[in-house]
């Protein structure tokens, strides 16, 4: 006697979903993602990138060239307003050889308590120990013309070293 099996393929059934619960769950997920994206900006006061153009040494205004020697011995960021233009200068200080460099990666204005501060993010490059460099004192610096209209009260310098 032969047994005959009826093999009908059944498709899996989709579980029933409570529509109201599903919509509530989606709304909660969207609200949480919005909060994660927006709340940090409210806490820090938001961020405001500043437009800037890095100047060649020949493009630096004469008045700025006159005050630079006072500051190029120091490692810092500073700002100067000359003829309604605000310039940001980052200096590396005195170096015993050539091969050192500084670049500006980003400039932004951040709200800090009751005042705004300018944060300058700079990248420092040092010569490799095996590099042949000039044995002369050097004072690496970079000057950027910004879109700011007023001088900031406080300037912070954040430094990253490029390998």
Over residues 129-147, the pLDDT tens digits come to 888 988 999 999 999 999 9
Average pLDDT (10-32) is 81
- 74-123 pLDDT, tens digit per residue, is 999 999 999 999 999 999 999 999 999 999 999 999 876 778 889 999 99
Mean pLDDT computed over every residue of the chain = 85
By mean pLDDT, which of 41-45, 71-75, 124-128 is the weakest?
41-45
- Element containing residue 66 per DSSP (H, E): helix 62-71
Q: How far, in Å, CA of 60 to CA of 145, rounded?
A: 9
**Tokens 């300058």, residue located:** 120
Burial group, residue 144, by CB count within 10 angstroms (0-12, 13-18, 19+): buried
pTM as predicted: 0.68
φ/ψ of 39, rounded to 5, equals -60, -40
Check the CA dihedral 153-155-151-120 and report its sign.
Answer: negative
Instruction: Answer whether 45's CB lies under 8 Å from 110's CB.
Output: yes
- What percent of the chain stands above pLDDT 70? 87
Distance CA 112, CA 102 (A): 26
């Amino acid at each position: 006697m032969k047994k005959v099996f009826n093999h009908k393929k059944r498709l899996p059934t989709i579980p029933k979903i409570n529509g109201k619960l599903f919509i509530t769950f989606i709304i909660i997920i969207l609200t949480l993602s919005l909060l994660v994206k927006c709340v940090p900006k409210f806490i820090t006061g938001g961020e405001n990138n500043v437009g800037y153009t890095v100047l060649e040494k020949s493009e630096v205004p004469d008045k700025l060239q006159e005050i630079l020697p006072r500051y190029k011995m120091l490692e810092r960021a500073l700002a100067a307003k000359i003829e309604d233009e605000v310039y940001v200068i980052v200096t590396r200080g005195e170096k015993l050889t050539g091969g050192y460099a500084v670049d500006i990666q980003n400039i932004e204005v951040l709200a800090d308590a009751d005042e705004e501060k300018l944060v300058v993010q700079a990248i420092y490059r040092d010569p490799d120990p095996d590099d042949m460099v000039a044995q002369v004192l050097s004072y690496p610096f970079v000057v950027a013309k910004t879109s700011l209209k007023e001088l900031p009260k406080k300037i912070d310098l954040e430094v990253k070293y490029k390998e």
